[in-house]
Amino acid sequence: MITVRVEQPADIAAIRQANDRAFGRAAEGAVVDRLRVACPDVLSLVAEEGGRVLGHALLSPVLITRDGVSVLDGMGLGPLAVVPERQRQGIGSMLVRASIRAMRARSCPFVIVLGHPEYYPRFGFERASGRGLAPQWEGIPDEAFMVLVLDERAMEGASGVAGYRSEFDQAV
């Protein structure tokens, strides 16, 4: 049986391996490692079965700014990783749903994601540009930068640039 739970210290090596294998490179795993140390506000979830980490989801702070002024804090989902031999079995979906539940419980107003436009809309994500949000990095396809609004009232008038933490800059 697969369960989703908060990361424990004993999971760190397996999380790094899951990210490295899922993405075929070390950049995402390195971001996770840096954020774990630098940012106490991250939420790191693992999907495990029989004590083996099969997948990982990280949520980290995101800030919407407009004209250099802070507008609203939220969270960014990613990286989301599932070990290659267990992809397309619903593990990623379990992690996304658990992430959304956790953000609702924290009264987070929004979650952004930079990801596959055919995958994330099933969870309620929509193009961020439709909400007046732009990514901090140039060259990001519009359809790949998405937002899930969890609190419509908090999002009223919240437009601008959605910025991830600087730890992500080396992975993009």
Look at residue 48 in the predicted model and tell me its pLDDT: 98
Write out pLDDT tens, residues 94-145.
Answer: 999 999 999 999 999 999 999 999 999 999 999 999 999 999 999 999 999 9
Write out pLDDT tens, residues 1-10.
Answer: 999 999 999 9
Coil, helix or strand at residue 69: strand
pTM of the model: 0.95
Write out pLDDT tens, residues 33-56.
Answer: 999 999 999 999 999 999 999 999
Q: Do the strands 2-6 and 52-66 form a parallel or antiparallel pair, or are they unpaired?
A: unpaired
Q: Which tokens go with 3? A: 């369960």
Look at residue 172 in the predicted model and tell me its pLDDT: 59
pLDDT at 80 over 80: yes
Distance CA 131, CA 155 (A): 9
Tell me the mean pLDDT in the region 86-101. 97
CATH no., domain 2-168: 3.40.630.30
